[in-house]
Amino acid sequence: MVGDTDLCFATLAPGQALARGVCRWMCSMDFAAVTEFVPARGLRMDVIALGPRGEIWGVECKSSRSDFTSDQKWHDYLPWCDRFFWAVPPAFPAEILPDGSGLFRADSFGAELVRDAPEARLAPARRKAMVQAIARAAALRLSRLQDPHSG
């Protein structure tokens, strides 16, 4: 018998499935992850995660070669996180991904950190603003789940 939650996960788009797997990994490492986070107008990061020591990791999910080559905004995400990663499915050709970024192999059930990303620490003022923005985004989403008519 298929449960309601199984049906929900079966309808995920490929990028959403990757994000779900990455978020599961982040949670297992004591990170708090938010999907589809907007750090600035015109940008939408697939996953942003706040770590137990205040570190901020950004993850861009790419489900295929064409998905990767059609979106070249990834450089714009670097100023908003301490480390930047790609999340791709197991068969993705990782050699096409840029050097100087981390790599997760993921599916809808989990992820594996294949390559760590170099650290480029945010300035204190940017970090404070980002922590507040991540907390606000998470709290607003929780409020909408608890009361969809709240705003």
Query: Does 142 reside within a domain?
Result: yes
Query: Does 66 reside within a domain?
Result: yes
User: What are 85-101's pLDDT values in tens digits?
Assistant: 999 999 999 999 998 99
CA pair distance 100, 140, nearest whole angstrom: 33
Taking the mean position of all CA atoms in its chain, how far away is CA 101? 14
For residue 7, is pLDDT > 60? no
**Per-residue confidence (pLDDT) for residue 10, from 0 to 100:** 58
CA pair distance 34, 141, nearest whole angstrom: 9
In total, how many domains does the chain have? 1
Q: Look at 96-100, 118-122, 129-133 and tell me which has the smallest mean pLDDT.
A: 96-100
The percentage of the chain sitting over the pLDDT mark of 70, rounded to a whole number, equals 93
CA pair distance 131, 140, nearest whole angstrom: 14
CA pair distance 71, 92, nearest whole angstrom: 16
Query: Does 104 reside within a domain?
Result: yes
State which H helix or E strand residue 121 sits in. none
CA pair distance 88, 105, nearest whole angstrom: 5
User: What are 54-92's pLDDT values in tens digits?
Assistant: 999 999 999 999 999 998 889 999 999 999 999 999 999
Which residue segment(s) compose the domain that 12 sits in? 4-146
**Per-residue confidence (pLDDT) for residue 151, from 0 to 100:** 64
